[in-house]
Amino acid sequence: MKYLSYISILTLLVLVSCGQKEKSIDDILESGSKTELKETREQLNKEMRDLNSKIKKLDEKLEDFEDSSKYALVEALQLKPQHFKHYVKVQGDVTTDQNIVIYPEFSGILENIYVKEGEEVKKGQKLAKIDDGGQSNQLKEMQAQQELAKTRFERQERLWKENIGSEIQYLEAKTAFEQINNSVEQMKRQLNKSIIYAPFDGKIDDIITDQGQVVSPGQNAIFRILNLEAMYVSANVPENYVSNIKVGTEAIVNLRALNKSFVGEVSQVSSNISETNRNFRVRVSIPDSIDYVKPNLIATVRLNDYTSKNAVVIPENILQENASGESFTYALQMENDSIGKANFRELKVGRHYQGQIEVLQGLQAEDIVVTEGARTIKKEDKVRVLNFQKH
């Protein structure tokens, strides 16, 4: 019974199909309405999508029957334009222009120290006093003589204006007064050296000589004073980078001891190249946000000496060299999502940095290059891509 039912249904479908003659595209174009034209187009689009889906499934199934051993297995990378930067790495150290050791300018006993280690001081503040050995008393005597010389000069000057007295008396009084003035000023300057003042705002980092010791100019350091508000990194750069490093150049600084890094700019470039090491010095300011910075900390500085916009960049390890020392790699011409043909590309390369190298000639920005398995293939080989990445 079930078999007879299938026969009946099949017979009915055949009769119906024979009774309905399908219109051709030409018939529809000639006599069809706008609505019929749209419906026909939608039907054809649907049939085309169904066919494409079926073809894709068939292709995928057919690939399973292909002999995969005839394809080399590779990994590939699709390139895209990049902003490529090259940096030169140099060593530097943290320093400040306001970090000095103070020596006395006067000989004598260090009579008084007015500050303590770690104390913040202001410019011009009195730090210490050296015994003047009685010179202050000598100054008082000289000042008394100065007053007497002044009185004599003023008297002789008055008489000279009144045409009383001789010119020689006036000139002698004037000379004596000027001489004692000079002597008093010289003594004041000398005695002023017995007092040590702060040369700038800062901190007393170290008191080197104890109170009561005898000190002499240029021999006995008294204090170390420094100001940590204007710290910077100073580094030596080889002379072959002199045309690439300038004020404003990007600098990436690492302070290893603090486990801190920051991005800054070169704020100063020396105008002199050292005769001993053929280097020039650069300065990079340290931002106030970084704490615990101290002079002489070691710093690693990377200076951006080259930048290329929209560059073609590939991993350096995929480069190969031929017998002539020329660089090459393989770019893929893809036939579908996984099968491609290896095209030999001879390259002209530029600078490299951190495993990446700029390609100046031989590759385009959207090329697909072989990253793994390139050493097992030859020109025009077909390959199967196992891992396809985008840069």
Tokens 């010791």 correspond to 213
**What is the C-alpha to C-alpha distance for residues 359 and 313, in angstroms, rounded to an integer?**
6
Classify domain 70-83+309-390 at the CATH topology level.
2.40.420
**What is the C-alpha to C-alpha distance for residues 364 and 250, in angstroms, rounded to an integer?**
28
Q: 97: number of CA atoms within 13 Å, CB side? A: 4
Q: Is the pLDDT of residue 63 over 80?
A: no
Task: Give the model's pLDDT for residue 8.
Answer: 39
DSSP assignments along 224-260, one per residue: EEE-GGG-EEEEEEEGGGTTT--TT-EEEEEEGGGTE
Query: Per-domain residue ranges for the chain?
Result: 2-62, 70-83+309-390, 89-97+230-307, 99-226
Work out the burial of residue 18: count CB atoms within 10 Å of its CB; fewer than 13 is exposed, 13-18 middle, 19 or more buried: exposed
| CATH architecture of the region 99-226 | Beta Barrel (2.40)
The Cβ of residue 17 has, within 10 Å, a number of other Cβ atoms equal to 10
Q: What is the pTM of this model?
A: 0.64
What pLDDT, in 10s, does the model give residues 285-295? 999 889 899 99
- H helix or E strand, kind and range, residue 337: none
What value does the mean pLDDT of the chain take?
Answer: 87
Closest CA to 192 of 138, 132, 141, 127: 132
Share of the chain above pLDDT 90, in %: 61
Q: Is the pLDDT of residue 67 over 60?
A: no
Q: Does domain 89-97+230-307 have CATH number 2.40.30.170?
A: yes
Contact 305, 350 (CB under 8 A): no
Contact 187, 87 (CB under 8 A): no
| pLDDT-based confidence at residue 391 (cuts at 50, 70, 90) | low
What pLDDT, in 10s, does the model give residues 338-361? 889 999 999 999 999 999 999 999
Q: Is the pLDDT of residue 10 over 50?
A: no
Task: Give the model's pLDDT for residue 19.
Answer: 44
**What is the C-alpha to C-alpha distance for residues 328 and 325, in angstroms, rounded to an integer?**
10
DSSP assignments along 175-218, one per residue: HHHHHHHHHHHHHHHHHHTTEEE-SSSEEEEEE-S-TT-EE-TT
Work out the burial of residue 277: count CB atoms within 10 Å of its CB; fewer than 13 is exposed, 13-18 middle, 19 or more buried: exposed
- State how far the alpha carbon of 14 is from the alpha carbons of 9, 212, 366, in Å: 9, 127, 55
Strongest mean pLDDT among 94-98, 129-133, 177-181, 300-304: 300-304
Contact 299, 258 (CB under 8 A): no
What pLDDT, in 10s, does the model give residues 147-200? 999 998 888 888 888 887 788 888 988 999 999 999 999 999 888 999 999 999
Amino acid in position 335: E
Task: Give the model's pLDDT for residue 315.
Answer: 94
Tell me phi and psi for residue 15, to 5 degrees.
-60, -40
Task: Give the model's pLDDT for residue 242.
Answer: 94
Task: Give the model's pLDDT for residue 23.
Answer: 67
SS3 (DSSP) at 42: helix
- H helix or E strand, kind and range, residue 157: helix 135-161
| pLDDT-based confidence at residue 64 (cuts at 50, 70, 90) | low
What pLDDT, in 10s, does the model give residues 152-165? 888 888 888 888 77
SS3 (DSSP) at 339: strand
Do the strands 382-390 and 339-353 form a parallel or antiparallel pair, or are they unpaired? antiparallel
Do the strands 126-130 and 250-255 form a parallel or antiparallel pair, or are they unpaired? unpaired
Q: Mark 43-60 as b/e (b = at least 16 C-beta within 10 Å).
A: eeeeeeeeeeeeeeeeee
